[in-house]
């Protein structure tokens, strides 16, 4: 989990949902990104998890979610961890059986990636979206069919093989990771066919997915500079139409980002 200081949702929603998992995680890692967590808060959080290992890390890589997640993955890598990694945003929540369902499917099907349903609630109101199934890499070139941060459940070996996340990528990290994992020759994807997590959005709070978010614009520019040359004319139109409809950014604004270029265009993250 990465956090940028949303203490109430972190404590009373996200961490609470982790605590009540019927399949207890081996380790809970919280990475503070551009925020400070006091010694008192650390002790309080560690007490919440009892005998479960709770680790607090400071993001020492590039600021942002990607650098924070890579910080956590780096910790697991150095510890020789070989299991599954589940991500959760600091304002989202898992159903109590999220980890159990995902792990059960992974073990039953020998999958390296398991994708479950991530509900969307906007201001507490459920918004309809289809359960993810039969996802292909090309779907992520033009949009996101339902595999995002809080329903990411991936084997550590797969995350290591693709290099984790791209440090500094402002947004669209989920799509970039999905594309690289789905292109990994050894990937085996399975689906739970169940809703097991909830993505919360508030119209009163600025988020990466909020319309006219400057960070979202930079992320769209990075993504276009990484993958735009692969899109057909029809796919390009779909990409720009979606960006305008959801985030308020037209083609010209996205293409105008001459300084918003990723450091490299290789099909790898920056974990290693």
Domain boundaries, the chain: 2-201, 214-255
| pLDDT value, residue 25 | 97
Rounded distance, CA 268 to CA 248, Å? 29
Packing angle of the helix pair 214-227, 233-247 (nearest 10 deg): 170
b/e burial code for range 175-214 (CB count within 10 A of at least 16 → b) = bbbbbbbbebeebebbbbeebbbbbbbeeeeeebbbeebe
| pLDDT value, residue 203 | 81
| pLDDT value, residue 205 | 57
The DSSP secondary-structure symbol of 20 reads T
Q: What are the 10-residue block averages of pLDDT along the chain, 272 residues in total?
A: 86 94 96 86 87 93 96 98 97 97 98 98 94 96 96 98 97 97 98 98 65 89 96 97 95 87 95 94
- What is the CATH architecture of 2-201? Alpha-Beta Complex (3.90)
Closest CA to 89 of 196, 200, 1, 177: 1
Closest CA to 239 of 137, 129, 141: 141
- 22 to 121, 150, 182: CA distances (angstroms): 23, 17, 29
| pLDDT value, residue 168 | 95
| pLDDT value, residue 41 | 84
| pLDDT value, residue 155 | 98
- 161 to 15, 92, 104, 222, 251: CA distances (angstroms): 29, 27, 23, 22, 33
Rounded distance, CA 146 to CA 137, Å? 12
| pLDDT value, residue 257 | 72
Rounded distance, CA 56 to CA 250, Å? 40
Rounded distance, CA 200 to CA 14, Å? 11
């Amino acid at each position: 989990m990465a956090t940028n200081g949303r203490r109430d949702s972190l404590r009373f929603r996200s961490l609470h949902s982790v605590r009540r998992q019927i399949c207890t995680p081996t380790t809970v890692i919280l990475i503070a990104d551009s925020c400070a967590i006091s010694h008192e808060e650390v002790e309080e959080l560690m007490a919440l998890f009892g005998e479960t290992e709770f680790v607090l890390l400071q993001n020492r890589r590039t600021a942002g979610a990607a650098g924070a997640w890579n910080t956590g993955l780096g910790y697991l890598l150095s510890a020789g961890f070989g299991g599954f990694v589940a991500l959760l945003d600091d304002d989202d929540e898992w159903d109590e059986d999220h980890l159990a369902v995902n792990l059960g499917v992974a073990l039953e099907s020998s999958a390296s990636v398991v994708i479950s349903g991530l509900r969307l609630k906007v201001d507490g109101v459920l918004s309809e979206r289809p359960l993810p199934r039969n996802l292909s890499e090309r779907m992520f070139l033009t949009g996101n069919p339902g595999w995002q941060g809080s329903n990411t459940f991936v084997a550590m070996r797969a995350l290591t093989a693709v290099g984790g996340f791209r440090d500094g990528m402002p947004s669209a990290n989920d799509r970039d990771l999905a594309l690289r994992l789905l292109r990994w020759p050894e990937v085996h994807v399975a689906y739970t066919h169940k809703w097991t997590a909830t993505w919360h959005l508030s119209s009163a709070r600025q988020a990466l997915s909020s319309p006219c978010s400057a960070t979202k614009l930079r992320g769209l520019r990075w993504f276009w500079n990484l993958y735009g040359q692969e899109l057909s004319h029809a796919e390009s139109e779909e990409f720009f139409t979606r960006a305008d409809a959801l985030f308020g950014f037209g083609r010209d604004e996205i293409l105008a980002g001459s300084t918003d270029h990723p450091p490299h265009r290789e099909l790898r993250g920056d974990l290693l």
